[in-house]
Structure 1
Amino acid sequence: MTDNYDLVNDSILFLLRPKVTICYLEEDWTLRQALEKMRYYGYSALPVVTKEGRYAGTVSEGDFLWHMLNNNEHDIYSQEEYRLREIIRPDFSPPVRVAAHIEDLVDQIMGQNFVPVVDDYDIFMGIITRQDVIKYLRYRH
C-alpha cells in the first residue's frame, strides 16, 4: 500500500451523492407510483425514506415481482392498493453512518450497486455508488 492509500482513515463524505441529487422513493407511495418512477428512470433498486426523512430501506424490482406473484396479481393498476412500506425488507441494503470510512463499506458495496448513507438520527443523507468506490480505489492506488 502507498502512503496516500488509507482505507481506514478516508471519509466517505467526498463520495456521497446527496439526497437532493438522486432518485429515491417515499414509503407511503403506492407500489404503482414506485414502479412507475423506477421504470421511468431505469433503476432496478432505489432507497426508500419515511415522511420524516429517515431511511426506511431499499426496494428492488424483485421485491415488486415477489409481491405481485405472492398476491396473484399481474397488472400494475392492482398495485395502487398497496403501500411501499409493505414490501421493504429490513435486512436488505443496510445503511452506513455518514462518519464511516471507505473500509466500512467496501465489502457491502461489492454485493450491491449502492450503499445508503444516514446521519446519527437515521436521516437519509444520500448514497455512495459502487462505481464511485471503484473509481476512487483505482485512482488512489
Structure 2
Amino acid sequence: MNILFFLTPKKNVASIPSQDSLRQALEKMKYHGYSAVPTIDADGKYAGTITEGDILHAMENMCKWNIFEAEKIKVQDVPRKRDIQAIFIDTDMDDLVDTITDQNFVPVVDDQKNFIGIVTRKDVIRFYYDEYKKIQTKEA
C-alpha cells in the first residue's frame, strides 16, 4: 500500500509560514484548535512542527508573556522540544506505522523536500480497524 492513500493534501492542512510571528502562530493554532502545526518556509519546504508547548515556552522565556513582544519573534526562531521529521512520499507502510505511533500526524514531503501534506494517526488507525473488521466478517 502506498502512503499517498492516507495523505491529507497541503491545501487542506493548517500550516504556519516559518516567517510568521509567534503571535500569528498562537492565533492560528487557537483558531484551528490544534496542538501542533507544521511550519513551511518561503520556498514551500517543511521547516518543522511547532506545538502549543513550544509556543508557551517561547511566550514565557522569550517574551515574558508580552503579546507585543511576540510580534517580534519569528516562528523559525522558536526552540522546539521535539524535532518532528517528515517522511518522503515513497516511505513504506512499516516505516509510516513506526513513525506515526509517537505523534498525531506525520508531515510528508516530495523528493525535493517540498511539503505536500500530512498523514494522520487517526486515518491509519481507521484503515487498519476496517481491515480487521473485514477479516472478522469473513471468519464469522
Normalization by structure 2: what TM-score? 0.88
Q: How many residues align?
A: 132
TM-superposed deviation, 1:78: 1.9
Which residue of the partner structure matches residue 124 of structure 1?
Answer: 115
In the TM superposition, 1:1-141 aligns within 5 A as 10-71=1-62, 73-87=64-78, 89=80, 92-141=83-132
Q: Which runs of 4+ in 1 moved over 6 A?
A: none
Unaligned runs of 5+ in 2: 133-140
Deviation string 1:65-91 (CA, Å, 9 cap, x unpaired) is 111222351132320010000015395
The CA RMSD over aligned residues, in Å, is 1.5
Which residue of the partner structure matches residue 6 of structure 1?
Answer: none
Unaligned runs of 5+ in 1: 1-9
Query: Would you say the 8 A contact 1:57–1:88 is kept in 2?
Result: no
Q: Distance in 2 between matches of 1:79 and 1:114?
A: 27
- Whichever of the two has the greater Rg, that structure is 2
Between the aligned residues of both structures, percent identity stands at 42
Tell me which amino acid in the other structure corresponds to 2:118. I
Which residue of the partner structure matches residue 137 of structure 2?
Answer: none
**Larger proportion of helix:** 2
Deviation string 1:110-135 (CA, Å, 9 cap, x unpaired) is 11110000001110010000100100
Tell me which amino acid in the other structure corresponds to 1:75. N
